[in-house]
Amino acid sequence: MTIQFFPIPFILGLGVLIFITLISRKRQRWEFFLHLIPFGFYVLLVIGVTIFPIPLLSGSDGVTLLERTVFILSKVQWVPFHYFSQHLSRALVFEVFGNILLTIPFGFGINFLLSIKGPKILSLALSVGFLIEIFQLVVSLMVGVAYRTVDVSDVILNASGVIIGYILFRFIAWLYVSFLRMFNLKPEGLFEYVFQMTKR
């Protein structure tokens, strides 16, 4: 038996996103929500990919809670990129690049919602990577099954994706501002909001 992401967890997450939108509507411009809503959907999908489906134990198998906990914690991989000493399969390469690609949209999109300065992006990137792995570990401990591999390598790869997304945003922002200045254009509406985000 497993808990699937659709429909109940997704609907609950959607409710949280709607709640955040409602309580922020008086303090933010409409352009802010034009970026918040798709970013929120993206975060929901990341949760769906990294946390679900969650397996549930069907019954007691004689293993104590302490034994389950010790076993799950023993599966945590603390050595970065330990798998590089093994044969690199196509699935492994896909997993490595998948972990990077997973968080590139975060590093890109967060700039439209928060003011992220250069030095802060490293701590934010590591926080994203750690949160994903910690959630996987906590859920594993709660259900008593090591259903996901908790690996410090994933933290590094997820953090790398955030940084790549941030760099990509800054590069496109530089092109955008340079284009406006070259043709002496004054952005309005949504374009003015984007312009303000690129200058922060």
Tokens (6 digits) for 189: 């509406």
Closest to 139 measured CA to CA, from 198, 58, 54, 67: 54
Let me know how long the chain is: 200
Average pLDDT, the chain: 91
Rounded Cα distance, 147 and 125, in Å: 24
Q: Does residue 47 contact residue 5 with C-beta atoms inside 8 Å?
A: yes
Q: Residue 58 corresponds to which tokens in the numbers above? A: 């069907």
Could you tell me where the DSSP H helices lie in the chain?
8-24, 30-51, 65-74, 90-109, 118-143, 152-182, 190-199
SS3 for 49? helix
Question: To 5 degrees, how large is the angle CA 2–CA 13–CA 4?
Answer: 15
Q: Tokens at residue 41, please?
A: 């959907």
Q: What is the pLDDT of residue 83?
A: 77
Do 68 and 137 touch, CB atoms closer than 8 A? Answer: no
Quick one: pLDDT at residue 62?
76
| CA dist 137 → 59, 140, 152, 156, 161 (Å) | 21, 5, 12, 16, 21
Side chain identity at 133, as an amino acid letter? Answer: E
pLDDT of residue 116: 85
| pLDDT tens-place values along the chain, 200 residues long | 899 999 999 999 999 999 999 998 888 888 999 999 999 999 999 999 999 999 998 766 778 889 999 999 999 999 998 877 776 677 788 889 999 999 999 999 999 998 888 789 999 999 999 999 999 999 999 999 999 989 999 999 999 999 999 999 999 999 999 999 999 988 888 888 888 888 77
Domain-wise residue ranges, the chain: 2-199
Amino acid letter at 186? K
- pTM for this predicted structure: 0.93
So what's the pLDDT on residue 151? 95
Query: H or E element: which one contains 3?
Result: strand 2-3
For the beta carbon of residue 133, count every other beta carbon within 10 angstroms: 21
pLDDT at 118: 76
